[in-house]
Structure 1
Amino acid sequence: MPENSSPQPLEARVRTQVQVPLRFADGFTASADVFTFRNLADRKEHLLLGLGDWQESLARAREGFEAPLVRPHSECLTGDVLGSERCDCGPQLREAVERISKAGGFLLYLRQEGRGIGLYAKLDAYALQDDGLDTYAANVALGRGEDERDYFVAAQMLRAVGVGSIRLLSNNPDKARQLGAYGITVTERVPTAAHVSAANVRYLAAKRDHTAHTLDLA
């Protein structure tokens, strides 16, 4: 969470809800209710996808049953769209859509490319990683933070659709910490699978060792 961030609005509002059929490269299909918002703190065009029977999941949570399954997923053009194996973002997105569709819940697609440093800077960091730096040291060498993401807008979006508590589908403990600080109760942390390739194993090991991601690379 940035220490010198500007004052942030407390409430976002839904501006559009539209149903979008999804189809992944392996043939998996799902249907998403896609929400857009007004009054998000950073003024970016983030999306929230309601997957599976998300309405029933919300209703059950209000009756004291388990919270909906939620994944905040950071945009990754190289991984999500181009299928890059330098990260695990594409497989995590595919896994999350299927798991949330079965359980009922939400996927937040957040415009936070490169852990918040942007697409070009991320590719600059890749070049530094090719010279031996790990993913965090490369960001710092560019004069950026190790991870510049802030999840205030994620909390705004969840509250706008009536979500106050979640089961968090993520390996990243910082997501749980930040969402909790912003008023979203994380009742359970649910890890994703470890999507390992020869091209990303060093990247995943850095996430495990440097920022305590829940990853079993054995």
Structure 2
Amino acid sequence: MAGMYPAGVICEVMAEDGSMQRLPQLEDFAEEHGLKILSIAQIIAHRRRTERLIERVAEARLPTRYGKFTAFAYKSHVDADEHIALTIGEWSADEPVLVRIHSECLTGDVFGSMRCDCGAQVDLALKQISEEGNGIFLYMRQEGRGIGLHNKIKAYSLQDQGLDTIEANETLGFEPDLRHYGVGAQILLDLGARKLNLLTNNPKKVVGLSGFDLEIVDRIPVEAEVTDENRTYLNTKKARMGHILGNC
């Protein structure tokens, strides 16, 4: 239309009955009109092959109360955030490795906040990975599901006034969950992981990682104790965010 070539277009193509055309129909349409066609998954795969989003900047031994880990420090070229992966043991690309991807929660992970289950999940995951003898604990700097520490404290204040965690985020002008998985996926790939036994209660995390050449072989729950302080938070994650929780 603009006389510019080459050009790419993303759009919905309707069938004659008014429904949206699916991939087989779109492939026929493209062949009929001499058009090239590619999927979002192909674009992701291309960018994964040609663009490196992370840089490994340091590596060191890290003995912990859970076991003797190796710490790998990474820097993201997307936003300059710093992430860390703790690994134990060895694995090959053709065998599943136990993995926990944990988003930063200063209040829970460091200060032991009872408002959430984050600190308990760190404890449970590191213990399980250590007992397994090999695995990866990936700590992503995505505080407060991506809204940052200051905004998370503001969200806590709104929750004290009766809002749930989703309503509080939305009142502050944020989506319920701003986390992304591309950087984390590249870190896992850099560490040689291809097949994952993923420690998570969040099915969206499974979907989010599956688009990055990572195969989720199994989803393993990591459920913390339900308390009076975190019950509402956990119920919201289960009822409104689709988390698979059997203990609340």
**TM-score of the superposed pair, with normalisation by structure 2:** 0.76
3-state SS of paired residue (2:150): helix
Q: Which stretches in structure 2 are left out of the alignment for 5+ residues?
A: 1-46
Q: Structure 1 residues 184-193 or 83-92, which shifts more?
A: 184-193
Rg comparison, structure with higher value: 2
Match of 2:239 among 189, 193, 209: 209
Change beyond 3 A, Cα 1:30–1:40: farther
Deviation at 1:20, TM superposition (A): 0.8
Give the Cα separation in 1 of the matches to 2:74 and 2:109.
22
Deviation at 1:38, TM superposition (A): 4.7
How big is the alpha-carbon RMSD for the aligned residues of Structure 1 and Structure 2?
1.7
Aligned to 1:32: 69
Deviation at 1:41, TM superposition (A): 3.0
Quote the sequence identity (%). Answer: 41
User: Deviations for 1:161-216, whole angstroms, at most 9, x for unmatched residues?
Assistant: 11111111000111111101122111111011232111000000000011111111
The one-letter code of the counterpart of 2:59 is Q
Paired residues, number: 199
Aligned to 1:73: 102
Q: Which stretches in structure 1 are left out of the alignment for 5+ residues?
A: 1-6, 24-28
1:17 equivalent to 2:56? Answer no
Deviation at 1:14, TM superposition (A): 2.7
1:183 equivalent to 2:213? Answer yes
- 1:145-160 matches, within 5 Å, as 145-160=175-190
**TM-score of the superposed pair, with normalisation by structure 1:** 0.86
- 1:133-144 matches, within 5 Å, as 133-144=163-174
Ranges of 4+ aligned residues in structure 1 off by more than 4 Å: none
Give the Cα separation in 2 of the matches to 1:182 and 1:40.
17
Query: Quick one: higher RCO (CA 8 Å, sep 6+), 1 or 2?
Result: 1
